[in-house]
Structure 1
Amino acid sequence: MNDKRTEPLDPATRVSLTVNGLSWEGWTNVEIGAGLDDQCRSFTVGITRLLPGGDEPVPIVHGDRCELRIGNDLVLTGWVFATPRAHDKNSTAFGIAGRSLTADLVDCAALNKPPQFKRQSVRAIVAALAAPYGIAVLSEVGDGDTVADHTLQPGETAFESIDRLLKISRLISTDDAQGRLVLAAPGSAGRAYDPIQLGRNVLAGDASFDFAGCFSEYRVLGQHGTSANRNGAAANEIAGIATDSRITRKRVATLTESGNLTPGMAKERASWERDNRIGKALAAQYEVAGWRQSNGALWRHNQIVHVIDPILGFDRDMLITAVTYRMDEQGSRVTLAVAPPEGYLPQPPDPEKSKKARKKKGDKFEYLLPSEWRSD
């Protein structure tokens, strides 16, 4: 185990864990993950000695605040959650695992009193839900809509409440290297410098193309409080419907939405469900050599990347939804999860209009994915 005074052979892949002012390096295995669906980054680092005994385990314990870097790039600010250790007659091993500061929003209860927010912006409500756990909120999409009413549900975590709010408001969230909760737009991290290209940098690729969760019609049902213009019958019959002619046989899904729902919100929720499910059905994973692109930048999630893969049938821009950096005896490599960006868009395009988009030679899914998506 090295401290920060020992310079490794490859600074670009040097992984350092800083706790209490000391930086620890020399790990023999590393896994670091970040993604749009996880809301908190995670890491596991470890070292194995071929003989029992040897160095004392690193004096780091659960609950320690930490920073993780790849080279000079900060990639995670969070807490140590586990310090696994193991040994046998031939070796000893110990590791450290942790997650971003935002893990407390994922794991812990929403504590706000009173448990109701009226006529506040999305950003203000999210900031209030995050405040009891000391989590800062950064918005790349402004303050968001003003929400008439958002009420906490018994037993839900802070992030479950945030997630309900964001789904209705058609926004996404993630975390950043500083451990903040980020309200973001798809692709707001920019465009990847390199493409993901078979024959250039792809070690392996796979996609399930599983449409079992897709339907021809989505019905979202909910309630709306009565007012001078709405009586009881109307208040209890809020419904929004979104159809998807890309699913050619009749398949209907009914979803219930809690909270004070309007017809417009129900329609938007149904449309979000339609586009999100098609996007997940067309998701893929690629394993790419190395953690950095040819310009030296780390691969990052929420970037737009061009995917060229005639075997899986892609030749289009996709959204990097998750990144996992790994290092072991086989070297360093990165797994990139990609999906159609419209599955994460705050305002997904109409699928009927998507059919009219220009077709791109080499892509087999132009009837499912808008070819016109570009972030530049």
Structure 2
Amino acid sequence: MDDVSLTVGGATVSGWTSVRVTRGMERIPADFDIAMTERFPGATDVLVNEGDPCVLSIGGDTVITGYVDRVGDQFDAHNHALSISGRGKCEDLIDCAAQYQGYQFEKMTAAQIATALAKPFGINVKAAEGGLVVPQYIFNVGDTAWCVIDTVCKFSQLLCYEDADGDLVIGPIGTLEAEGGFALGVNCERAGYLRDISQRFSEYRVFGVGSAALQDAGVQPYIEQTYLDDTMPRFRPKAFIAETNDAGAQVSKQHALWECNRRIGRGNIVTVTTSSWRDSAGQLYAPNTLAALSLPQLKLIDGQKFVIGEVTYRRAMNGTACDLVLMPPQAFMPEPINNLPMAQDAAAALGKR
């Protein structure tokens, strides 16, 4: 049985009566709510304070490494209940202002920038070597560290999310696959499939309307680019004005294609509830993992692979279950961003200073 244990100050406590642990690709940090009563041995001896570093584990696997945020004690004539809530270490990146001398980065990759911003909080960054070099990035006083990291990762078209160790992971959509996938009546108790076209369009049009800065007036051509979603049943156009500078049109075209693909992905959401927290190979279900779906009852293509976007492990008096949210891979592709807010020759000159 996968017991949920919380380790604080070297002491480990299990026997929780209520458990809710959630991790996700777009839910940073991971968080948990757990509770127990005096009916369990040692409940009255649990000494946990808000702010304590903690590690939450399921069986022998670490799931969240972070801090206790809230501790609640309740007494009455017959019971003593203890509840604890906490989040992963990356909560400090979300909550706190970014700290870096000069408030600007020059000629650094997304991983290098993230490492510099995460270091004051004791958070490690796990990223592959290399990546796009950002010529210059200036942030405002009060911007959170996560706001900066999320933006520079989009420059390189990389995802960033928290892992079980409380570290920040920077990388592409995962290629690992949950063994066994999901099949109704095998390891899937309940499943749902939401198909939504309310936020989708038949055409995504990009218009290049520039000011011809540093050029003779009237020499900049009128440019229009269209991307079609042939799966839309009626005419629904969506228009974008291309960003400025000589890289703006290219990035805006990428953005229009991203809008089309992302909206298709977000319009196909599968929810699955299973009684086990682990796949057929014994691995805990985790975000950024592919899973094959065998759910013909939902009119899905047999064996079609969706990405696990969010996982919630839960346990209460009525039993144990795992709730998962899955979407096609394109639903999680990072948004293209123009990282050259000036002409490319000017940016190149700035980088040579």
Letter in 2 for 1:56: T
Query: In the TM superposition, what is the alpha-carbon distance from 1:215 to its structure 2 partner?
Result: 2.7
Tell me the distance in 1 between the aligned counterparts of 2:91 and 2:200. 30
Shift in CA distance, 231/112, structure 1 to aligned 2, threshold 3 Å: farther
Query: In the TM superposition, what is the alpha-carbon distance from 1:114 to its structure 2 partner?
Result: 1.9
Query: In the TM superposition, what is the alpha-carbon distance from 1:168 to its structure 2 partner?
Result: 3.6
Q: Which of 256, 278, 296 matches 2:264? A: 278
Matched pairs, number: 331
Structure 1 equivalent of residue 283 of structure 2? 297
Structure 2 equivalent of residue 3 of structure 1? none
Superposition pairs of residues 70-89 of structure 1, within 5 angstroms: 70-89=58-77
Shift in CA distance, 46/119, structure 1 to aligned 2, threshold 3 Å: same
Q: Which of 339, 364, 374 matches 2:327? A: 339
8 Å CA contact retained: 2:22, 2:32: yes
Percent of matched pairs sharing the same residue: 32
Structure 2: 5+ residue stretches without partners? 337-353
8 Å CA contact retained: 1:174, 1:181: yes
Structure 1 equivalent of residue 167 of structure 2? 180
Query: In the TM superposition, what is the alpha-carbon distance from 1:288 to its structure 2 partner?
Result: 0.6
2:133 maps to 1:146: yes
Q: Which moved more, 1:240-249 or 1:121-130?
A: 240-249
Q: Which of 149, 161, 165 matches 2:152? A: 165
Letter in 1 for 2:133: T
Structure 1 equivalent of residue 186 of structure 2? 200
Structure 2 equivalent of residue 121 of structure 1? 109
Superposition pairs of residues 1-376 of structure 1, within 5 angstroms: 10=1, 13-49=2-38, 55-56=43-44, 58-140=46-128, 142-188=129-175, 190-218=176-204, 242-247=227-232, 248-252=234-238, 254=240, 262-314=248-300, 315=302, 316-345=304-333
TM-score w.r.t. length of structure 2: 0.82
- Classify the secondary structure of the residue corresponding to 1:32: strand
- Classify the secondary structure of the residue corresponding to 1:207: strand
8 Å CA contact retained: 2:96, 2:145: yes
Structure 1: 5+ residue stretches without partners? 1-9, 349-376
- What RMSD over aligned residues (CA atoms) do the two structures have, in Å? 3.4
Tell me the distance in 2 between the aligned counterparts of 1:167 and 1:243. 24
- Classify the secondary structure of the residue corresponding to 1:269: helix
1:17-44 Cα shifts (integer Å, max 9, x gaps): 1111111111111111111011211111
Q: Which moved more, 1:42-51 or 1:101-110?
A: 42-51
8 Å CA contact retained: 2:188, 2:275: yes
TM-score w.r.t. length of structure 1: 0.77
Shift in CA distance, 214/254, structure 1 to aligned 2, threshold 3 Å: same
Tell me the distance in 2 between the aligned counterparts of 1:29 and 1:127. 36
8 Å CA contact retained: 1:117, 1:149: yes
Shift in CA distance, 148/212, structure 1 to aligned 2, threshold 3 Å: farther
Letter in 2 for 1:212: S
Query: In the TM superposition, what is the alpha-carbon distance from 1:159 to its structure 2 partner?
Result: 1.1
Q: Which moved more, 1:166-175 or 1:95-104?
A: 166-175
Tell me the distance in 2 between the aligned counterparts of 1:75 and 1:37. 16
- Classify the secondary structure of the residue corresponding to 1:337: strand
